[in-house]
Amino acid sequence: MGCVIREYRPADAPHLRQCVVALQEIERGIDPRLRPGETMADAYCARIHARCREADGHVLVAELDGAVVGFVAVLTREMFTELYDPPGSYAYVTDLVVLAPYRHRGIGRALLEHAEALALAAGAPELRIGVLAQNVAARRLYLAADFAPHVEILTKRWTDQRPAS
């Protein structure tokens, strides 16, 4: 059986949580200051659903042989808020993950394509996605899906001491 991308159902809750934990642990591998996935997953899942209610969002799951192996959350009407932003709204992929044993099979790309289709159907003028600069695999997927860098946020961290003022 092939991979099926479908809307989230309440019975998917434990699988969504598992995916959130996996995503957080990937990002913790890049930035160890992040909270462990097990400690933030329940609240974060609730936040995903709340944001979807607020911004016409969707949670889609990837199902392979009856098992949920990944998900994407897309907000189809995220409002620009800054005075220097254009007027209106855009679509935004808040989260995308495929569990490790199922990567490199095109599942992430399929999730992204379904998110894009929802954004287009909602009339969003653009689709945005954030990625940690050191997440090479995710960056590769997004660039291959025709996303282009738009804004870069640079970070300077102090390890032992703050610089003298």
Q: Give first-to-last CA distance, the chain, whole Å.
A: 62
Helices (DSSP H) in 31-151: which residue ranges? 37-54, 107-121, 136-144
**71-122 pLDDT, tens per residue?**
999 999 999 999 999 999 999 999 999 999 999 999 999 999 999 999 999 9
The answer on pLDDT for 124 being more than 70 is: yes
pTM above 0.85, yes or no: yes
Of the candidate ranges 57-61, 104-108, 156-160, the one whose mean pLDDT is the lowest: 156-160
The answer on pLDDT for 162 being more than 60 is: no
Domain ranges of the chain: 3-144
Q: What topology is assigned to 3-144 in CATH?
A: Aminopeptidase (3.40.630)
pLDDT exceeding 70 applies to what percent of the chain? 96
The answer on pLDDT for 163 being more than 60 is: no
Tokens of residue 71, six digits: 């998900």
> How large is the average pLDDT for residues 120-134?
95
The answer on pLDDT for 27 being more than 70 is: yes
- Residue 42 C-alpha from the chain's centroid: 16
Residue predicted with more confidence, 2 or 78: 78
pLDDT at 160: 65
User: For the chain, how big is the Rg over CA atoms in Å?
Assistant: 17
